Structure 1
């Protein structure tokens, strides 16, 4: 018999809130985390706004020792460790460097590009012939699995420890990888999530592709406009989200607080066929991903109360809505409520899925629907598919039982997970 899987811990480092409490407040009140960055302007970026979490040196010192922070400048690993530690503590566990190795708990924590600033620093030192001055942590800070290496050591996790990387789908995929391990009885708990660095060396390629907005440099909070007729590209973001997944049996046994249940999900690829490319989704694969996620979760399309979409504020938003209507066979007034966390935090790239999963679970736990800010002018192509009322622009209290969260990433890769409200 497969194990039921619940969520017992949350952690988040987002542009509009560091920590679950601050993030929840920002979600409820539609507070944006998008700001102007002079560095981007100085480097001749078209898009000079972005979402960067507000992390002070004082806050860093609560997670890392002075020795650990010496020469440490990988923002993604920093955010990931903070979110992961918070989730671990939120689940009721201690962070003790002398603790026994925990063979019942593993880690799947994803990233896209890790330690870019550190890598740049290393390149300059090498070019100057200073190989012996690179420092002892340059490898850990720049290898893809640096985040899982740091976190697993800080927490003493002895089950599977790995890093996944699937572009914008990374965080949602990590949740499903952890879920699978628990349902198969190979772990009692899995700490899952994803993180992303910030800054010009991560965001520059997207600016060169002209997929980021350049129209709101003077009004940053208005820049991220998913589903809007006046959307002109995404706003880059960064941060991390983390969740402690646990078998229901283990959670009940230790009297843990349960946020929600993971019902199941699906991961697939469009193979860059039938309209799918490196940067665009194959509609048939997206619809199949959603349908199979529902099937594996035992959820009928009519039971979905809220969708937390991928919805990036690009030309593909209307196509995503169309795919949802076809997969659910629900449209116009029958379509469920839908929101895009990206309107508040931007597109956090590899961290997007995990931050948005945390946002989805907070909505279930607190029984409210996050608003889509900057969407007063819903796109005409979307209006033809669903009711305007399905895209709330104000926070609303609402009884929610099931949330569907999906991510669709570069490389034509897809993931969809179903979360359900947990009532003991």
Structure 2
């Protein structure tokens, strides 16, 4: 028998909320975390707004020792450690003593570009001939697995400790990787999630591609417009989300809080064929991924009552809705409720999937479906497929039972996870 897998802890460091309490209130009240950044204006960015977690008043000594903080210049690692340690604590877990690793607990924490500011700092020192002044932290803060290494050591995890990287699919992929490991009884608990650095060196490439909005620099809160006819591109964001996955038997034995159950999912690629490219999805692959997630979950399409989409506020939003409709065989008033949280904090790149999965699961504990912002003018192609009542503009007092969450990324990669409320038996 395979293990059933549940979520027993969560943490988040998002542009519109740090910690579960602040984050859930922001989602319920539709509070934006998108702001104007003078630094981007000074650097001649077309898009001068972004979603960035406000950690200025956070006591980082709660998460790092003074030694760890010395020379720390990697925002993604800071966000990831904050979210990861908060999730561990939220699950009611303690840190393993130094002399005894926890062989049954592991970490899969993904990222895209990590430690870019530290890397820039290091390059200047090397170019100036000051190699000896790099210090001992330049490698661990710039290697992709730096975030999982930090968390694995802080928590004393002795099972698989690794980092995945699949562009904007990263966070959702990490969750499915951890789920599979527990399901197959290779681990009892896995801390999973993802993080993304902040700043112009991460966001600059997207600005150069002209896929970021340029008309809302003076009105940041209106800029991110998923499913809207007036969407002009995604607002870049950053942060981290983290979840503690655990076998159901272990969770029940500990009498842990259970946020929800993962009942299945799927990951695939379109191979950059049949319309799929480095930056655009192969629609057939997306439909296959969504259908495979349903099959893996052993549920019927009509059982999905809510979708949390990738929906980035680009020209691809209508295509995504069309793909959901094809995969589920549902449209009009029969389409599930659908939402995108990116209207409130932008597209957090590698961190997007994990942050949005935290928000997705919070809908179970709140017995609500959170609304969408900035889509008063729904795209006409979406209107042809979905009845407007299925795209809530404000929080609905409706308790979801099964939510499908999907993420799609550069490289033509796709991931979909299916969450279900846990019914205590």
- Is the shorter-chain TM-score for this pair beyond 0.5, marking a shared fold? yes
- Tell whether the 8 Å contact from 1:76 to 1:114 is kept in structure 2 after alignment: yes
Match of 1:276 in 2: 276
Residue pairs, 1:338-353, within 5 angstroms: 338-353=338-353
Deviations 1:395-422 (A, max 9, x none): 1110210000000100000000000011
- Give yes or no for the alignment of 1:47 onto 2:69: no
Aligned partners of 1:346 and 1:142: how far apart in 2?
A: 25
Aligned partners of 1:315 and 1:55: how far apart in 2?
A: 33
Aligned partners of 1:378 and 1:95: how far apart in 2?
A: 48
- Tell whether the 8 Å contact from 1:104 to 1:188 is kept in structure 2 after alignment: yes
What is the DSSP-based 3-state SS (H/G/I as helix, E as strand, rest coil) of the residue aligned with 1:372? coil
Instruction: State the shift of 1:364 in Å.
Output: 1.4
- Tell whether the 8 Å contact from 2:363 to 2:399 is kept in structure 1 after alignment: no
Unaligned runs of 5+ in 1: none
Instruction: State the shift of 1:98 in Å.
Output: 3.4
Aligned partners of 1:308 and 1:405: how far apart in 2?
A: 5
Please give the TM-score of this superposition, normalised by the length of structure 1.
0.99
Match of 1:355 in 2: 355
Match of 1:114 in 2: 114
Residue pairs, 1:167-178, within 5 angstroms: 167-178=167-178
- Tell whether the 8 Å contact from 2:369 to 2:399 is kept in structure 1 after alignment: no
Aligned partners of 2:149 and 2:263: how far apart in 1?
A: 29
- Tell whether the 8 Å contact from 1:101 to 1:156 is kept in structure 2 after alignment: yes
Aligned partners of 1:186 and 1:365: how far apart in 2?
A: 28
- Tell whether the 8 Å contact from 1:268 to 1:415 is kept in structure 2 after alignment: yes
Aligned partners of 1:243 and 1:99: how far apart in 2?
A: 26
- Tell whether the 8 Å contact from 1:233 to 1:314 is kept in structure 2 after alignment: yes
What is the DSSP-based 3-state SS (H/G/I as helix, E as strand, rest coil) of the residue aligned with 1:61? helix
Aligned partners of 1:58 and 1:342: how far apart in 2?
A: 24
Residue pairs, 1:227-266, within 5 angstroms: 227-266=227-266
- Tell whether the 8 Å contact from 1:85 to 1:95 is kept in structure 2 after alignment: no
Aligned partners of 1:277 and 1:367: how far apart in 2?
A: 39
Instruction: State the shift of 1:97 in Å.
Output: 5.7
What is the DSSP-based 3-state SS (H/G/I as helix, E as strand, rest coil) of the residue aligned with 2:59? helix
Instruction: State the shift of 1:96 in Å.
Output: 5.7
Instruction: State the shift of 1:100 in Å.
Output: 2.6
- CA RMSD across the alignment: 0.9
What is the DSSP-based 3-state SS (H/G/I as helix, E as strand, rest coil) of the residue aligned with 1:108? strand
Aligned partners of 2:32 and 2:401: how far apart in 1?
A: 26
- Give yes or no for the alignment of 1:210 onto 2:207: no
- Tell whether the 8 Å contact from 1:52 to 1:238 is kept in structure 2 after alignment: yes
Deviations 1:56-102 (A, max 9, x none): 25421211122211110100011001100000001111236636310
- Tell whether the 8 Å contact from 1:33 to 1:51 is kept in structure 2 after alignment: yes
- Tell whether the 8 Å contact from 1:364 to 1:403 is kept in structure 2 after alignment: no
Aligned partners of 2:276 and 2:295: how far apart in 1?
A: 24
Unaligned runs of 5+ in 2: none
- Tell whether the 8 Å contact from 2:114 to 2:197 is kept in structure 1 after alignment: yes
Q: For structure 1, which segment, 407-416 or 95-104, has the greater mean C-alpha deviation from structure 2 after superposition?
A: 95-104
Match of 1:334 in 2: 334
Aligned partners of 1:126 and 1:311: how far apart in 2?
A: 41
Match of 2:186 in 1: 186
Match of 1:27 in 2: 27
Residue pairs, 1:86-105, within 5 angstroms: 86-95=86-95, 98=98, 100-105=100-105
Deviations 1:39-58 (A, max 9, x none): 00000000000000011254
Q: Count residues in correspondence.
A: 424
Aligned partners of 1:97 and 1:163: how far apart in 2?
A: 24
Q: For structure 1, which segment, 123-132 or 364-373, has the greater mean C-alpha deviation from structure 2 after superposition?
A: 364-373
Aligned partners of 1:96 and 1:248: how far apart in 2?
A: 21
Instruction: State the shift of 1:22 in Å.
Output: 0.5
Match of 2:418 in 1: 418
Q: For structure 1, which segment, 57-66 or 382-391, has the greater mean C-alpha deviation from structure 2 after superposition?
A: 57-66
Aligned partners of 1:358 and 1:201: how far apart in 2?
A: 27
Match of 1:374 in 2: 374
Aligned partners of 1:304 and 1:219: how far apart in 2?
A: 35
- Tell whether the 8 Å contact from 2:116 to 2:202 is kept in structure 1 after alignment: yes
What is the DSSP-based 3-state SS (H/G/I as helix, E as strand, rest coil) of the residue aligned with 1:195? strand
What is the DSSP-based 3-state SS (H/G/I as helix, E as strand, rest coil) of the residue aligned with 1:369? coil
Instruction: State the shift of 1:390 in Å.
Output: 1.1
- Tell whether the 8 Å contact from 1:89 to 1:95 is kept in structure 2 after alignment: no
